[in-house]
Amino acid sequence: MKRDFTKTVVSLAALLMIMMLTVGFTGIDLIEKARGKLISRLRDAKSDSDKTVRSVYAYSSKLKNFMEEDDLRDRNLRLLERYLKDIRGKYDRLNRSINTGKSDAKALFDILRPRAEENQDENLKEKLLTWIETHKICFQRQMAKTGPLMRRLDRWIQQFDDIVGYCQITREADDDSIADISRTIENEKDLSSEIKECIDTGLEIIEKISCRNFSCDSIRGCASK
């Protein structure tokens, strides 16, 4: 395992040098390119989060209204089917944005670490490696919080799917289902802001990663324990 890790570090360092020599990039070019790509991805994830949760909320409210009014005609059921397809697509896009953001962050830190390893001053090298690892862990900790939130969102969408399926077969409103979807709409109304808060904190870490005297301790929720 240790040998494989050493090979990976050497390979990344070699790749870094090859790109610098053949493409004309400097170290800062590579770092800023990777950082810019990650920032763009996280901003996309924030936007996707808002669109996804807003749609699920609106469509769930529409479903609740149809059931309360006992208005489950074919036209409305087809509309609910389109809603379901739309929110599934939005959820998948959000999930991809978050997962790709995590991968892009790994790519950024994989560029930073080999560069730090090249430092011949052991004191500076140790400071750099500690700094990189601290920021990496802090970022990963924030993005890990999106996992349970995304599972909550997925359960909400599945509940929508289940109720629509029930209505398609019976053409009847179920009182328990009305109560369930009403409860979910109320309980999950802040879900978008919770997901965005995690992404915002991760974004702040990456945006300020080159700022002088920047420390993760200055970011809420990232202070070292």
- % of the chain beyond a pLDDT of 70: 81
pLDDT one-digit tens code per residue, 50-100: 999 999 999 999 999 999 999 999 999 999 999 999 999 999 999 999 999
pLDDT at 210: 62
Closest CA to 148 of 183, 98, 182: 98
SS3 state at 60: helix
pLDDT one-digit tens code per residue, 161-216: 999 999 999 999 899 999 999 999 999 999 999 999 999 999 999 988 765 455 56
The answer on pLDDT for 25 being more than 80 is: no
Instruction: Please check whether residue 181 is in contact with residue 56, taking contact to mean a CB–CB distance below 8 angstroms.
Output: no
pLDDT one-digit tens code per residue, 94-149: 999 999 999 999 999 999 988 888 888 899 999 989 999 999 999 999 999 999 99
What is the C-alpha to C-alpha distance for residues 65 and 170, in angstroms, rounded to an integer? 17
The single-letter DSSP state of residue 70 is: T
The answer on pLDDT for 219 being more than 70 is: no
Binned at pLDDT 50, 70 and 90, residue 218 comes out as low
Q: How many CA atoms lie within 13 A of 17 on its CB side?
A: 8
User: Considering the entire predicted model, what is its pTM?
Assistant: 0.81
The answer on pLDDT for 40 being more than 70 is: yes
